[in-house]
Every structure is written in structure tokens, then in C-alpha cells.
């Protein structure tokens, strides 16, 4: 697993309130742990509803169960945002928030440049590797990375599973709760 990979949850996590039918962008993967952001759990409110100095309605996403009261962001603004951390190619996370706010106000950052998250997904040392070995996740290489901002969150999980194929085709078409089938 490496930075920029997508983790697609499998049927082994059905019912998990945090990761059921999720696609997670792996932002940082190293031996001491991993950090990611759930790309397809859009919240019912926007950034302007949680921050006073923003007037534009940027959607907010549930990034994961760790630090759910903190704001994180993934963007393609790279070197324009000091302190940004490279994920892969032209994809970065976090950076100087004052510059983000300034760029939003000046119209330099739009929805196709950034995605905001409350919380993140985190795994300790070997935790993600163990979950991967238990088949809780499938790796998905998303190309080009800029398409992450254009992807429809409501069908992202299904599209990823359909692309992976095999036995996952059945699961991608199953109801949200297979016991209700």
C-alpha cells in the first residue's frame, strides 16, 4: 500500500458504521501507521455552515472516526499552498489554512480543486495490513488523481468494485443491507 492508493471496503465490513461501502484515499502510508480520508461520505452540511469566514458552499465529507471535530482537506493546489503534504502526483493534503481561505475568497480555489473533511481514518503500525489480509479492503489505483474531485461520491464505491470485478460484481449490486434482500 502506498500514498495515493484508494482502499475500497469489501463485504467483510458490512455494518461497520465508519467504513461500510467506503472508498478511502490513502494520504500517508508508512511503517508506523497510515492516514486516509473517506471520499464518498458526504455530510448534510457545507463548509460555510461550520466556518464564519466562508461564503461559498463547499461540501463537507466525513473523513473518518479520528478527530471528527477537526477540519482536513485534500487539494491539487500544491506549491501554491505552503505546508502542503504531497500524496501523489498533483494531489496534496492540508497546508496553510489562511492561504486556503484567501484563495477561496479570490476565486482561485473551486470545488474541483479541493475536498474538505471532518475527521480522518487512521491505522496504527500493522493494523491496516491486518485488515487488508482479512480482505476488509481492496486496493484501487485511481488515475488520474485529479479525477478524485470530479467523482460522484454517491456511486464511487460501486464503480470501484465494478472495475475490480470478479466476485465483487455481486456485492456492488447488492442492497445496502443484504439481509433485507
Over the stretch 8-24, which tens digit does the pLDDT of each residue have?
999 888 778 899 999 99
Residue 158, CA distances (Å) to 45, 75, 92 in order: 24, 24, 25
Q: What is the pLDDT of residue 164?
A: 77
The CATH number for 95's domain is 3.40.1740.10
Question: According to the model, what pLDDT value does residue 52 have?
Answer: 84
Q: What is the mean pLDDT of the chain?
A: 87
Question: What is the distance, to the nearest Å, from the Cα of residue 160 to the centroid of all Cα atoms in its chain?
Answer: 13
- Report pLDDT digits (tens) over 89-125: 889 999 999 999 999 989 999 888 999 999 999 999 8
> pTM score, two decimals?
0.90
Alpha-carbon span 66 to 24, nearest angstrom: 14
The pLDDT tens digits for 27-60 are: 998 889 999 999 999 999 999 998 887 888 899 9
| pLDDT for the residue 180 | 53
Give 43 or 149, the one with higher predicted confidence.
43
Domain that holds residue 35: 5-180
Pairing outcome for strands 59-62 and 114-124: parallel
Cβ neighbours around 70 below 10 Å, total: 11
DSSP state of 141: E
Cell of 17: 458504521
pLDDT of residue 143: 67
Three cell numbers written together for 56: 461559498
- Rg from Cα positions in the chain: 16
Q: Phi first, then psi: what are they for 99, rounded to 5°?
A: -70, -40
Residue 26: pLDDT band with limits 50, 70, 90:
very high
Please give the Cα distance from 18 to 24 (Å, whole number).
Answer: 11
Number of domains in the chain: 1
2: pLDDT confidence band, cut at 50, 70 and 90?
Answer: confident
* Residue 151: CB atoms within 10 Å: 16
Selection from 168, 74, 174 nearest residue 121 by Cα: 74
Q: What percent of the chain is modeled with pLDDT above 70?
A: 90
Amino acid at each position: 500500500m502506498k500514498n495515493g492508493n484508494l482502499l475500497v471496503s469489501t463485504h467483510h465490513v458490512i455494518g461497520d458504521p465508519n467504513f461500510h461501502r467506503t472508498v478511502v484515499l490513502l494520504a500517508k502510508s508508512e511503517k508506523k501507521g497510515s492516514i486516509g480520508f473517506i471520499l464518498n461520505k458526504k455530510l448534510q452540511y457545507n463548509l460555510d455552515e461550520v466556518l464564519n469566514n466562508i461564503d461559498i458552499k463547499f461540501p463537507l465529507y466525513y473523513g473518518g472516526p479520528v478527530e471528527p471535530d477537526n477540519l482536513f482537506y485534500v487539494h491539487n493546489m500544491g506549491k501554491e499552498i505552503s505546508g502542503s503534504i504531497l500524496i501523489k502526483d498533483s494531489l496534496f493534503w492540508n497546508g496553510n489554512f489562511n492561504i486556503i481561505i484567501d484563495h477561496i475568497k479570490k476565486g482561485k480555489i473551486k470545488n474541483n480543486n479541493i475536498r474538505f473533511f471532518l475527521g480522518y481514518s487512521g491505522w496504527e503500525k500493522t493494523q491496516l495490513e491486518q485488515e487488508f489480509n482479512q480482505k476488509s479492503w481492496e486496493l484501487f489505483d485511481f488515475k488520474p488523481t485529479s479525477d478524485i474531485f470530479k467523482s460522484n461520491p454517491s456511486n464511487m464505491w460501486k464503480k470501484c468494485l465494478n472495475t475490480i470485478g470478479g466476485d465483487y460484481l455481486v456485492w456492488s449490486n447488492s442492497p445496502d443491507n443484504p439481509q433485507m434482500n
